[in-house]
Structure 1
Amino acid sequence: MIDLYYWPTPNGHKVSIMLEETGLSYRVKPVNILKGEQFDPAFLEISPNNRMPAIVDHEGPEGRPYSLFESGAILLYLAEKTGRFLPEAPEAGYDAIQWLMFQMAGVGPMFGQCGHFLGYAPEKVPYAIERYSKETHRLYGVMDRRLAESEYLGGETYTVADIATWPWIRVRWLHEIDIDEYPNVKRWYETVGAREGVRRGTAVLAEDEVIGNPTEEAREALFGARQFGGRE
């Protein structure tokens, strides 16, 4: 059994989708980041960076409980555990890993900043909006060119690279993206979104999904001084 520490965000959806796709048994441990539950000392023991998702695999290496944070690392761990969604052949495997790293280092941080300055920042900062909007469009262009020559981001098969990236395209409205401008991304997005595991994964705690227009309590939990307070 795997405990999934989770809230319905793009990063959270990566792991819920992976768990649904692999068929592993798991139970959800909600971490309401809008109420500051990511700062709970018990959660910090699992995820010292006060970010979800995180997991505890009660049947980890050598049968011992094993905890893991950072969504990309979790995807690789679950892929190795199940032998799924990461090709065994070295070249194909690293093709998938490099596009997973592209998501972790590019898509996630840049799309996140774009969404923050467009929808969450308490005041409009034109330079930041222009900077991150342009970078978001640039990254869409990179993906569109890749998907013009490949069925999926990591290659010709569905991999952790697609699982990691798809949730960020799902919230493209927050980044003011017209997906019709990127026809190859659109084709891929629709193909991945039609998978039953993806549908089930994005349905986890869907009733609690809130994007944009944060309350003052949520703004403080997500962006306030508490981020710098360390352990309580």
Structure 2
Amino acid sequence: MTDPKPYEPPKVWTWDKESGGTFASINRPIAGATHEKALPVGKHPFQLYSQGTPNGVKVTVMLEELLAAGHDAEYDAWLISIGKGDQFGSGFVGANPNSKIPALVDHTGAEPVRVFESASILMHLAEKFGAFLPASGPARTETLNWLFWQMGSAPYLGGGFGHFYAYAPEKWEYPINRFAMEVKRQLDVLDRHLADNEWMAGGDYSIADMAIWPWYGGLVKGWQYGAAEFLDVASYTNVVEWAERIYARPAVKRGRMVNRTAGDPATQLHERHDASDFELRTQDKLDAAE
């Protein structure tokens, strides 16, 4: 039996078939809408269109933290089911031409303002309410350092390691080893930093913590890719302790429920339109009412 012939890239790449694996049907090499579908608009100043992935959780945690702190940040959270291609509807593409969740539309001004990319949404809300981001000086810079560290690093965790370890149609040693090495390096960056800091920016809890926690906190808590043992996440004790400190916050627990469609139905709140929804409209209660 001979080894298969090594892959040789063509001179010009063309898209002639899906690559296989989880999410293959929602990936394509072109942008734009595939169908007409307007976005719903609720009664609150902020309209969020998202799903409870790590990038989506960043924003729902921020909104719930703002509400917990007494800010007028009421919001409607509409489910965008990426597995069904909702992100390619014309309304969503209008809110985010990159067709990725989350997208926020701010209706607090004379004209609606679209905000896309999770870090941009966090900064928009932080600056609007003067919360979770220092207004100036070194503390602001350090917060933004870590916010953008997450934005640059998480693609290696999700799109790299997560894809090849959990979602690719086959297990391939080279990419798994390559991305596992990088994820462990990132965990070490966090662990060394958190050895001397309670929160990511070194001062108060901030949008840097909210951005990093859904990815790396979820990883060390065993929620991501079934890879906790493989990556020996328990050895990053400072990251584990930081992740637990954040998960102890009631607003974080609520934020993680919003637009969630997997796991325990009692923790799934597919859409959020009122604070009472956490008690009355989780998926287990909707199922029981049918």
Secondary structure class of the residue paired with 1:4? strand
Alignment correspondent of 1:8 = 52
Unpaired segments ≥5 residues, structure 2:
1-44, 68-72, 264-290
Secondary structure class of the residue paired with 1:149? coil
CA distance in 2, matches of 1:119, 1:180: 20
Q: Deviations over 1:24-72 (max 9, x none)?
A: 1000121100111111111101110010001001014xx4211111000
Is the CA contact 1:144–1:183 (under 8 Å) kept in the aligned structure 2?
Answer: yes
Is the CA contact 1:56–1:67 (under 8 Å) kept in the aligned structure 2?
Answer: yes
1:205 paired with 2:252, answer no
CA shift for structure 1 position 144: 0.4
Alignment correspondent of 1:164 = 211
Alignment correspondent of 1:111 = 157
Secondary structure class of the residue paired with 2:195? helix
CA distance in 2, matches of 1:32, 1:9: 11
Is the CA contact 2:134–2:140 (under 8 Å) kept in the aligned structure 1?
Answer: yes
CA distance in 1, matches of 2:187, 2:176: 16
Q: Name which of 83, 88, 92 aligns with 1:39.
A: 88
Residues 1-232 of structure 1 mapped to structure 2, 5 A cutoff: 1-23=45-67, 24-60=73-109, 63-106=110-153, 108-112=154-158, 113-172=160-219, 173=222, 174=225, 175-176=227-228, 177-206=231-260, 208-209=261-262
Code of the aligned partner of 2:250: E
CA distance in 2, matches of 1:178, 1:64: 49
Is the CA contact 1:9–1:209 (under 8 Å) kept in the aligned structure 2?
Answer: no
Comparing both structures, which one devotes a greater share of its residues to helix?
A: 1
CA distance in 1, matches of 2:199, 2:48: 27
CA distance in 2, matches of 1:5, 1:92: 31
Alignment correspondent of 1:226 = none
Is the CA contact 2:164–2:171 (under 8 Å) kept in the aligned structure 1?
Answer: yes
CA distance in 1, matches of 2:217, 2:49: 21
Code of the aligned partner of 2:55: N
Secondary structure class of the residue paired with 1:91? helix
CA shift for structure 1 position 150: 1.0
CA distance in 1, matches of 2:152, 2:174: 21
CA shift for structure 1 position 170: 4.1
**Percent of pairs with identical residues:** 42
Code of the aligned partner of 2:77: V
Structure number with the bigger relative contact order (C-alpha 8 A, sep ≥ 6) is: 1
CA distance in 2, matches of 1:178, 1:82: 39
CA distance in 1, matches of 2:146, 2:49: 25
CA shift for structure 1 position 171: 3.4
CA shift for structure 1 position 203: 1.1
Is the CA contact 2:147–2:207 (under 8 Å) kept in the aligned structure 1?
Answer: yes
Unpaired segments ≥5 residues, structure 1:
211-232
Secondary structure class of the residue paired with 2:199? coil
Is the CA contact 1:3–1:28 (under 8 Å) kept in the aligned structure 2?
Answer: yes
Secondary structure class of the residue paired with 2:49? strand
Q: Deviations over 1:111-153 (max 9, x none)?
A: 1111111100011121110011110000000000100111111
Instruction: With the length of structure 1 as denominator, give the TM-score of the two structures.
Output: 0.86
Is the CA contact 2:213–2:243 (under 8 Å) kept in the aligned structure 1?
Answer: yes
- RMSD over aligned Cα atoms: 1.2
CA shift for structure 1 position 197: 1.0
Is the CA contact 2:132–2:206 (under 8 Å) kept in the aligned structure 1?
Answer: yes
